[in-house]
Structure 1
Amino acid sequence: MNSPAALILAGSRPGAVDPVAAAEGVAHKSLVEIAGRPMLALVVAALREAGIARIAVSASDDAVRALALALGCEVLDTGSGPSASVAIGLEALGAPLLVTTSDHALLQGAWVRDFLADTPAGSDVAILLARREAIEAAMPGSRRTYLRFADGHWSGCNLFLLATPRAGLAIETWKMVEADRKRPWRIAARLGAGMLLGYALGRLTLADAIAKLGRKIGVAAALVPARDGLAAVDVDKPSDLVDARAILAQRAADGASTGSA
């Protein structure tokens, strides 16, 4: 696979007040500073460290767009929702395309490299998810939304790979998953009565559900387990911001200690 471009989603939901931005008194949470840098800058730096040269930011806020340009990124318009913004990004940047979000403040280049390395050959679409036990081991007490399937409880990591142009076929389905992300039984129901029964009986794995959903729309889709549970931790609420600041402060302290050893 060729080196991917990256798309960072930094849009705003119409009419919604983001609690993190409101708590910090900024126009958009991408601008909230952690460890002295805006969250968007942290995400861009992680992608650069992973070796991704071409990065675009999907944003409507003027300050976010200006910051993206200052960081050396391209700026794209947003769509009516995340999936529509991804469609715009795929058309502009082509495949392979890595997609993440501007509130993924803990993102590390190693996670991106691992995700790309662990994506099965022949995949059109891949999704990084973390197991509950990995998240709780990395961050005890973390409260996330989990998808409960036979192969465990999973939480999304805001990292997606559109590996081939065929991935565009999955974007309409992405809209459905956005709507049903907290109701996995509805995702299973879209796969047919057999899959819904398998889910109800606790026999349907998330890996199978993703693969079968992909086949239904004509793409090879794969679940990729995250190696680090922290990959599932983003900044959705003020308490997440407190956690992210503490984790990055600890990383900095650990780095300083290592450097002085």
Structure 2
Amino acid sequence: MTKAAAILLAGSRPGTDPLAKAAGVAIKPLAPVAGEPMINYPARALLAHPAIGKLMILTQTPSLLTGDPATAWLGEHPCVIFEQSGAGIASTLMALLDRPDVTFPLLVTTADHVLLGPAMLDQFVREAEGADMAVAMVERATLLARYPDSRRTWLKFRDGWWSGANLFWFGSVKARPVVALWQEVEQDRKKGWKILSAFGPVALLGAMLRISTLRGGIARVGRRFGLIARLVAMNRAEACIDADKPDDVALIERILGERRG
């Protein structure tokens, strides 16, 4: 297959991030996890994977990353490009999709996806290949079987309760209308009903009445926009554990310690 370009979202939302403030760093991607800035973990995983050709890091302040001794290697790596990030994720992605020098497929993830590893990327790339758009999710039973105390934001469907895994695939420019819709509901990303309602009353009612499966719903959304859209149900619980809160960081550091031990 054609190698994908990976996009690593490393920007800052308005206001002060609590993890960055607690760590005494300017931006969240520099907040330490197990002794080093969190961005280093997903960056290394992406650059080491054979399906990834180059890595674009989106941030409002590239100099904070290239100027920090612990992350300066990113600015020196031949496969890393820094791109200016806008105020929102979706609006920044929209600008990239419209650029003639940006090629597909694109794999998008976040700087706080500390536990991203080769097995997750293997599964996601394998199952997303051939789709115009794919999104990775973790079903609640998968997470709770391994980490029963972990708390996530869940979307309830007939085929389970699902949480995002911060992995997105854009296989072609056909994904642009869906990103445009994402831009409209970006401020309501934690309000599942608001996101669903943007896809129409059938999707909203289907979820509320548990008459729709997530997999089928995503496929229907794709057909609405004239593209192939696919759910990738991740089989590793760690796929939906990001470094968003102090409790998350503590859990991630424990998992990293177990791996190293």
TM-score by length of 1: 0.88
**Alpha-carbon deviations, 1:39-63, whole Å to 9, x = none?**
1111111112222230010011231
* Contact kept in structure 2, 1:28 and 1:64, CA below 8 Å: no
**Cα offset, 1:184, TM superposition:** 3.2
TM-score norm. by structure 2 comes to 0.88
2:137 equivalent among 129, 132, 144: 129
Aligned: 1:114 with 2:137: no
Residues of 2 paired with 1:13 and 1:189: CA distance?
Answer: 24
Deviations 1:88-140 (A, max 9, x none): 34435321000000011111022111101122x54100000000011112222
Which structure shows the higher helix fraction? 1
CA 1:35–1:217: 2 relative to 1, 3 Å? same
Q: How many residues align?
A: 251
Q: What SS class does the counterpart of residue 93 from structure 1 fall into?
A: coil
Equivalent-residue separation in structure 2 for 1:187 and 1:38 (angstroms):
31
Relative distance call for 1:33 and 1:181 in structure 2 (3 A) is: closer
CA distance in 2, matches of 1:86, 1:194: 27
Question: Which moves more between the two structures, 84-93 or 151-160?
Answer: 84-93
Larger CA deviation: 141-150 vs 41-50? 41-50
Conserved? CA contact 1:170–1:219, under 8 Å? no
User: How many Å separate the matches in 2 of 1:96 and 1:108?
Assistant: 19
Question: Closer, same or farther in 2 for the Cα pair 1:197/1:59, shift >3 Å?
Answer: closer
CA shift for structure 1 position 37: 2.6
Pick one of 68, 78, 89 that aligns with 1:82. Answer: 89
Residue 220 and residue 36 in structure 1: after superposition, are their counterparts in 2 closer, same or farther (change >3 A)? same
1:242 Cα deviation from its structure 2 partner: 1.3
Does the Cα contact within 8 Å between 1:32 and 1:39 map onto a contact in 2?
A: yes
Where does structure 1 lack aligned partners over 5 or more consecutive residues?
254-261
Cα gap change, 1:149 to 1:122, in 2 (>3 Å): same
Helix, strand or coil for the counterpart of 2:53?
Answer: coil
Residues 7 and 89 in structure 1, CA contact (< 8 A), matched pair in contact too: no
**Partner secondary structure for residue 141 of structure 1:** coil
Aligned partners of 1:196 and 1:186: how far apart in 2? 9
The residue number in structure 2 matching 1:239 is 247
Among the aligned pairs, what percent are the same residue? 37
State how far apart, in whole Å, the 1-side matches of 2:54 and 2:10 are: 16
> Is the Cα–Cα contact under 8 Å of residues 20 and 28 in structure 2 kept in the other structure?
yes
Per-residue CA deviation, residues 158-185 of structure 1 (Å, 9 max, x unaligned), is: 0001011222232101223434433333
Query: 4+ residue stretches of structure 1 with deviation over 6 A?
Result: none
- The question of whether the paired residues in 2 share the 8 Å contact of 1:155 and 1:232 is answered with yes
C-alpha RMSD of matched pairs (Å): 1.9
CA-to-aligned-CA distance 1:53-84 (integer Å, 9 cap, x gap): 30010011231254331455210000220112
Structure 1 counterpart of 2:258, from 225, 241, 250: 250
Matches within 5 A, 1:63-212: 63-66=64-67, 67=71, 68-72=74-78, 73-90=80-97, 91=99, 92-119=101-128, 122-212=130-220
Shift of 1:244: 1.2
- Structure-1 separation of matches of 2:201 and 2:214: 16
Letter in 2 for 1:248: L
Instruction: Go from structure 1 to structure 2 and tell me whether the alpha carbon gap of 1:17 and 1:212 turns closer, same or farther (over 3 Å shift).
Output: same
Output the CA distance in 2 between the equivalents of 1:201 and 1:211: 19
- The 3 A distance-change label for structure 1 pair 215 and 56 is same
Deviation at 1:191, TM superposition (A): 4.0
Q: Which residue of 2 aligns with 1:25?
A: 24
Give me the whole-angstrom Cα distance separating, in 1, the residues matched to 2:28 and 2:249.
10
Describe the shift of the 1:140–1:200 C-alpha distance in structure 2 as closer, same or farther (beyond 3 A). Answer: closer
Q: Is the 8 A contact 1:94 1:165 kept in 2?
A: no
Q: Deviations over 1:231-253 (max 9, x none)?
A: 00001111211111111111111
